[in-house]
Amino acid sequence: MRRSLMFFLFLAPLALRAADTAYLDALRERARANALADDPRWRALLHMKKNWRGRWGSSVDGKDFFLSPRGTADAAAELDATLVAFFDPPPADTDTLHPQGLFPARYDYLKEALGFDGTRLPEISSPRLEKWRQNLDVNGVSLVFATAYLNNPASMFGHTFLRLHRRGAGGADPLLDYTANFAAVTGETNGLAFAVKGLLGGYPGKFSTHPYYMKIQQYNNMENRDLWEFDLALSTAQIRRLMDHLWEMGPTYFDYFFLTENCSYQLLPLLEVAIPELSLSGGFSWKAIPVDTLRRVLAAPGLATARRGRPAQLKFILARRALLSPTERRWVERASRPGPLPSAEAFPPERRALLWESAYDYYRLRHKFRRYGSPAEEAMERQLLLERSRVPAPAPDVSSAALAALEPPEVSHPTGRLGLGTGRGAGQGFEELELRTSLHDLTDPSPGFPRGSRLSMFTVKLRYLNETNRASLERGTLVDIFSLTPWDPWARSPSWRFFMGWDRARDRFKKPSGGSHFTLNGGSGLSAKTPGNWPAILYARIDADAGLGGVFRENARVGWGGTGGVLWASFSPIKISAEGGVIHYAWGQVDTVTRWTATAGWSLTPRWLLRTEFSRTGIYQEAAASLNYFL
């Protein structure tokens, strides 16, 4: 009897293993017969796309995401290896994840496609995965767009992420929701280094989840950016697939490319896994600007069902300040400074709530909405809140005023621009072709973009000279940022400009040929908005300029000076900008150069723009006109 029992205990696992192997072989054969590896749903789970050579490859760069050594480029090998892994014995402890728990979206897809027999391929429970699902408890998803933030290279095109609606919150308090965010993992503080490494894929990009209130604190409060939420029509099963695939993405990474495989692009394959019928991620091989990816989602029939705007906190503060009289405003500014708080007893009771809330707003604004301050700062905040709590009356609701200042991002013009123009300079005619990959210029149509802003990257302008029959690079822009923010005594934002690229040193040549050099210039200053029905923005700044090229003696020059200008955009189809300045070059090619430029843009239609420009540098002057199409 004992010998029989030992014989059974020895042979039973072998018999079971033999049965598992037979079933595994049957599933592998069925997958090959059904060509599952070519199913778009399987390729979507692997983030596989065809490259320019027509070969399939995954954009996932973390090797731990693949179970086959050839999985990054071979969907069939990865499918085969995945099936084998699903037959692995259960782990010895609950902290270790079985392949079924590591890849729940893959498991559900193959289970449905191959009809897994639970008695021959037992489902392995994953307590960690279940706990994660229960903690998030998602029953709805919104795509959130954060408007551009020019002061940070990582955010100057805008940003998108997903808001995960928690069932328990019931939509009553979105602050309790979570978010799914894709971002570069870096501690880089140098903006230029971040931009260069971001362009070259020098950082890993990872998915992460954070509470929504943290994103609001970062974007709405600290960076003064508006948020736009677009609810997505996802079924319970689609939300389950999205979340399971998000779980699969958690441990791995993608090489982060600032212009293509960026924060916005990586959300599109995620949505394609949730809704296999969608095709969102195609056509972004050379640029994926957040507002363009947003427009792609909004163009999908029935996907986006509702839109909500969440104004930046600064808009609420300024709307509340607009309700104050000059005397009340002076009291608020006094109350927000360190020291004993002034008494509000001299004001009518119905105004005191507004006064204390405004004082608290201004104090928080002055301290950049930091989460943690010094003990003195935190004591001041508590004191202001305590005084506010002693006033039972509500403060005036300024939501309508704050919302009125918002413009939906999807109304903006397309981010690319192609221009064909003609002109004359130094007595010679020329034709020009300009291609701008992104994003916006001062004289472009304004809706959907920050007023008084220019952000141009990778812009090329070619010129053909009629008399000499020569074609040349007129200007090559790597990055050109111009931010005009009218000075506000509370917000205190400077106006500034930065340019890096190739340009012509017109002051060195009278002819429109020659003078090409690499230049880095920029400056900072102040701007102000004029009152009245036809307001304009006036500005002045201190500039520095450095050039490098054979056009200069010593092959370089460095100088500094000043610029003043005006931007007028009060008449909807026409915008005019004009500026002039002088730079004294004290090192290298010593000289003093004056420059002025006047540009007008006339929006013929939402996609067509007529642009004229007159400029003078030293004794060289030229005039040009171009017809531009936004693409």
pLDDT at 3 over 80: no
- Tell me the per-residue pLDDT of 366-402, one tens digit each, with 9 for 90 and over: 888 887 788 888 899 999 999 999 999 888 999 998 8
Asked if pLDDT for residue 509 goes beyond 80, the answer is: no
Distance CA 435, CA 259 (A): 16
Residue 557 pLDDT greater than 60, yes or no? yes
pLDDT of residue 10: 41
pLDDT confidence of residue 449: 87
Instruction: Find the mean pLDDT for residues 491-516.
Output: 83
Q: What is the mean pLDDT of residues 409-428?
A: 93
What average pLDDT does the segment 41-61 reach?
93
Mean pLDDT, rounded, for 583-607 = 94
Distances (CA, A) of 93 to 90, 125, 128, 142, 248: 9, 11, 11, 36, 20
pLDDT of amino acid 191? 64
Q: What is the pTM of this model?
A: 0.89
Residue 180 pLDDT more than 90? Answer: yes
Confidence of residue 171 (pLDDT cuts 50, 70, 90): low
Backbone phi and psi for residue 597, each to the nearest 5 degrees, phi listed first: -145, 140
Choose among 319, 323, 337: nearest CA to 398: 319
Q: How many CA atoms lie within 13 A of 354 on its CB side?
A: 19
Looking at 184-198, 325-339, 612-626, which range is the least confident one?
Answer: 184-198
At 67, give phi and psi (nearest 5°). Answer: -95, -15
Task: Say whether pLDDT at 2 is over 80.
Answer: no
Sign for the CA dihedral angle at 444, 448, 451, 453 comes to negative
What element of type H or E holds 82?
helix 75-86
Which tokens go with 57?
Answer: 């490859």
Q: Are 435 and 460 in contact (CB under 8 A)?
A: yes
Residue 201's pLDDT band, with cuts at 50, 70 and 90, is confident
**Cβ atoms of residues 244 and 104 within 8 Å:** yes
Task: Give pLDDT, residue 193.
Answer: 73
Rank 72-76, 146-150, 254-258, 423-427 by mean pLDDT and report only the highest: 72-76
Angle (CA) 436-439-442 rounded to 5° is: 95
Q: How far apart are CA 556 and CA 69, in angstroms?
A: 52
CB atoms within 10 A of CB 408: 16
Identify the residue with better confidence: 200 or 474: 474
Query: Average per-residue pLDDT in the chain?
Result: 90
Q: What is the pLDDT of residue 153?
A: 60
How large a percentage of the chain has pLDDT more than 90? 70
- No. of helices (H) and no. of strands (E), the chain: 16, 21
Query: Whole-angstrom Cα distance, residue 384 to residue 362?
Result: 11
Provide the residue type at 319 as one letter: A
196 touches 203 (CB < 8 A): no
For position 584, what pLDDT does the model report? 96
Cβ neighbours for 100, distance < 8 A, ≥ 6 positions apart: 86, 107, 123, 124, 126
Reported as a pLDDT band with limits 50, 70 and 90, residue 81 is: very high
Query: 439 preceded by cis ω (within 30°)?
Result: yes
Most confident of 89-93, 167-171, 252-256, 370-374: 252-256
* Gyration radius (Cα) of the chain, Å: 30
pLDDT of res. 533: 83
Give start and end residues of each alpha helix (H) in 322-398: 326-335, 349-366, 375-389
Q: Quick one: three-class SS letters along 146-184?
A: ECCCCCCCCCCCCEEEEEEEECCCCCCCHHHCEEEEEEE
pLDDT of res. 64: 92
Question: What pLDDT, on the 0 to 100 scale, is given for residue 151?
Answer: 66
Q: Provide the pLDDT for residue 352.
A: 94
pLDDT at 346: 92
Which pLDDT value is given to residue 169? 58
Read off the pLDDT of each residue in 504-518 and give the average, rounded to a whole number: 77
Residue 192 has pLDDT above 70, yes or no: no
Residue 571 has pLDDT above 90, yes or no: no
Q: Say what the pLDDT of residue 281 is.
A: 93
Contact between residue 567 and residue 599 where contact means Cβ atoms under 8 Å apart:
no
Residue 194: its pLDDT value, please?
72
Residue 510: what pLDDT?
Answer: 54
User: Degrees (nearest 5) of the Cα angle 525, 529, 533?
Assistant: 165
pLDDT at 404: 86
In which element (H, E) is residue 425 found?
strand 417-425
pLDDT, residue 156, reads: 79
Q: Please measure the distance between the N-terminal and C-terminal CA atoms of the chain and give it in whole angstroms.
A: 83
Average pLDDT in the 200-205 region?
84
Q: Give the mean model confidence (pLDDT) for residues 284-311.
A: 93
